[in-house]
A = this chain, B = another copy of it.
Amino acid sequence: MKKYLPLLLILLWSCQAEVEDTKEQSTPEKPEWAIVIHGGAGNIQQNGFSQERQAEYQQKLEEAIKVGSVILENGGTSLEAVEASIHIMENSPLFNAGKGAVFNALGQNEMDASIMDGESGKAGAVAGVRHIKNPISAAIAVMEKSPHVLLIGEGAEEFSANNEVEITDTSWFYTERRWKSYEKMKQDKHGTVGCVALDKQGNIVAGTSTGGMTMKMPGRVGDSPIIGAGTYADNHTCGISATGHGEFFIRNVVAYDVAAIMKYQGKSIQNAATYVIQDKLKSQNASGGIIGLDGQGNIIMEFNTTAMFRAWGSSKQPVASAVFKGD
């Protein structure tokens, strides 16, 4: 029998290794609630970005995450927190979503947004809308009040108008900074906004809102309104909101891929996120990042660019924000 012993030990060790990886998912101190947001990722040079400008972004990010945190602390739902936090960023000209959305090749704003509820698996999204003040609220209306998941263009706008979503003139979205960027025909990919929250009831919701890509063709839709690519939520795995080069994020089904690795390989959310962003996307020269959290309130913020505008908080830790990698 002795000859079996080394084999037995190897087999036992390999099983043990698997079990350990699965265990990573649970932390001893599960927070009652948790929330994480992003305001886009990009390759920004730190020395070309003034401290005043960075402070301005971080102040707005912290304002947004505080609004969501208060809702969660008071027992509100993750859906309410995600909508309220994203509204702050959509209404700020600093980000490429709602007011401040970038311009397409015709000089128009065309916006996309999506939401997914990790408890029910329900989802809603709009794409190519031009007159909806807060696209994330239109996505929520599609999820809650229509039999559909994705509505585009004028159909999405008419549905929104009929469902108490605020319609606005295109001039609302105009900002001089984005117009200058358009006029210079610069690429200005960062600035998509997103939020993932876990509420006291244990439900995860993820949402994303964007103006898309500067100088994009009219009608171009990126990953933000695509469930599975830009947004995904499932209480059993995680919630994810993505930002980056949307075409690659669609092709790689980025948001769902993190959940699939957790579900089918038993990896932790951090291991899954690192693999998708640092290995898979980087090998394709696809830049961007994701934020997310799992059912235990473990927060991830993973990006392969120099910067991702981000903020986070939970019942166990005060809110904080950061921009660059080392921050």
Chain A positions near chain B (C-beta within 8 angstroms): 1-2, 4-5, 7-8, 11-12, 15, 116, 121-123, 127-128, 146-156, 158-159, 216-222, 226-229, 232, 246-247, 250-253, 256-257, 260-261, 264-265, 284
A149: chain B residues at CB < 8 Å are: 222, 246-247, 250-251
A154: chain B residues at CB < 8 Å are: 218-219
How many copies of the polypeptide does the oligomer hold? Answer: 2
Assess A227 versus B250: contact at CB under 8 Å? Given A128-B153, A219-B154: yes
A12: chain B residues at CB < 8 Å are: 11
Question: Do A15 and B11 touch across chains, with their CB atoms under 8 A apart?
Answer: yes
A261: chain B residues at CB < 8 Å are: 260, 264
Partner of A221, one of B2, B152, B159: B152
Partner of A148, one of B11, B228, B229, B247: B247
In the complex, A148→B105 CA distance in Å? 13
State the Cβ distance, A121 to closest chain B Cβ, in Å. Answer: 5
Question: Do B216 and A148 touch across chains, with their CB atoms under 8 A apart?
Answer: yes
Question: Do A253 and B256 touch across chains, with their CB atoms under 8 A apart?
Answer: yes
A127: chain B residues at CB < 8 Å are: 127, 152, 221
A251: chain B residues at CB < 8 Å are: 116, 121-123, 149, 227
Question: Do B253 and A228 touch across chains, with their CB atoms under 8 A apart?
Answer: yes
Question: Do B256 and A217 touch across chains, with their CB atoms under 8 A apart?
Answer: no
In the complex, A152→B156 CA distance in Å? 12
Instruction: Please list the 4 inter-chain residue pairs (A to B) with the smallest Cβ-Cβ separation, ordered nearest first.
Output: A155-B219, A1-B1, A155-B218, A264-B264
In the complex, A217→B158 CA distance in Å? 10
In the complex, A152→B152 CA distance in Å? 8
